[in-house]
């Protein structure tokens, strides 16, 4: 029998709200609810990996002046600007397991959507990883990352809770003046223009085809909205929590 995963409405929010909402989805997944959402950011925002030092923001003048938030997942800093972000929250148990690591699998879904639109991409495999600079995640190419023309355009990270999985990641659409050395999908020669919501719709269809799951539009529950607000106040909008490292 096909699994059913809830597709939440496409939306934009500030960094603290986005990270709190993702954590609320992880809590729901731990209680059996599977969710997928695509979202954007209402202002250019720097997110630091959970273990990253807050002082690293000061190493780049463009980064130091940005709104910022700490993620619940690891990795390096990401500038969320001209991009599409996704979050996938899956309950524990065999029906939600994947024979392939979920980061690689989701990036292969992205790769298929790009290929349908004439954009050639390449997934990093073991032995090919390289670090091209400090602080910023998209200068660190690790196994499973997706590259277009040598530039990293998709990277993801995970967190687990009581066997449930949260995976969220960034899909870089266009170059940002804040990190001009990072090219996006649409900056590749001959690449078509993508609107973030258009890409989200295509990924939803491709994800359903890849998994065989029913991807069903749904809404946030009252409890999830309440938990998002509570988590936001406790963590992601709390300066002390963000600066704890």
Sign of the dihedral defined by the CA atoms of residues 210, 211, 217, 218, in that order: negative
Burial of 170 (0-12, 13-18, 19+ CB in 10 A): buried
* CB 237 within 8 Å of CB 29: no
Residue 137 a catalytic site member: yes
- Is 204 within 8 Å of 215 (Cβ atoms)? yes
Confidence of residue 58 (pLDDT cuts 50, 70, 90): confident
Domain coordinates in residue numbering, the chain:
4-242
pLDDT band at 149 (very low <50, low <70, confident <90, very high): confident
pLDDT band (50, 70, 90) for residue 127: very low
What tokens appear for 107 in the block?
A: 């990036």
Catalytic residue among 104, 126, 137, 186: 137
Segment 161-172 mean pLDDT: 97
Which residue shows structure tokens 């899909």? 171
Per-residue pLDDT at 130: 52
Task: Answer for the pair 15, 41: CB distance below 8 angstroms, yes or no.
Answer: yes
Among 57-66, 161-170, 173-182, the minimum mean pLDDT is found in 57-66
Identify the bridge partners of residue 50 per DSSP, sorted by sequence position.
none
SS3 200: helix
Reported as a pLDDT band with limits 50, 70 and 90, residue 126 is: very low
Measured CA to CA, the distance from residue 198 to residue 196 in angstroms comes to 5
Mean pLDDT rounded to a whole number for the chain: 91
Contact 206, 113 (CB under 8 A): yes
For the residues 3-30, what does the mean pLDDT come to? 98
What is the rounded distance in angstroms from the CA atom of residue 222 to the CA atom of residue 220?
7
Quote the pLDDT of residue 245.
82
Question: Is residue 139 over pLDDT 60?
Answer: no
DSSP assignment of 95-164 equals GG--SS-HHHHHHHHHHHHHHHTT---EE--TT--EE-SSSBGGGEE-TT-EEETTEEEEEEEEEEETTE
Indicate the range of 53-62, 77-86, 132-141, 169-178 predicted with least confidence.
132-141
The one-character DSSP state at 176 is B
pTM over 0.85: yes
Angle in degrees, CA 140, 70, 30, rounded to 5? 100
**CATH of segment(s) 4-242:** 3.30.930.10
């Amino acid at each position: 029998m096909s699994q059913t995963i809830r597709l939440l409405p496409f939306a934009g929010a500030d960094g603290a709200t986005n990270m709190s909402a993702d954590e609320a989805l992880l809590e729901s997944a731990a209680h059996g609810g599977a969710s997928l959402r695509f979202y954007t950011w209402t202002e250019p925002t720097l997110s630091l990996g959970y273990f990253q030092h807050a002082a690293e923001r000061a190493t780049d003048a463009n980064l130091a002046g940005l709104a910022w938030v700490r993620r619940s997942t690891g990795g390096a800093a990401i500038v969320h600007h001209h991009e599409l972000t996704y979050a996938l929250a899956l309950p524990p148990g065999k029906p939600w397991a994947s024979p392939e690591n979920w980061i690689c699998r989701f990036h292969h879904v992205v790769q298929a959507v790009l290929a349908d639109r004439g954009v050639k991409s390449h997934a990093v495999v073991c032995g090919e990883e390289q670090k091209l600079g400090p602080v910023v995640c998209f200068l660190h190419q690790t196994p499973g990352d997706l590259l277009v023309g040598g530039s990293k355009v998709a990277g993801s990270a995970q967190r687990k809770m009581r066997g449930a999985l949260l995976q969220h990641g960034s899909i870089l659409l266009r170059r940002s003046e804040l990190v001009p050395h990072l090219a996006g999908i649409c900056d590749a020669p001959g690449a078509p223009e993508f609107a973030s919501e258009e890409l989200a719709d295509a990924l939803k269809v491709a994800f359903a085809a890849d998994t065989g799951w029913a991807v069903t539009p749904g809404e946030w529950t009252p409890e999830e909205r309440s938990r998002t607000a509570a988590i936001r106040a406790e963590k992601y909008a709390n300066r002390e929590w963000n600066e704890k490292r």
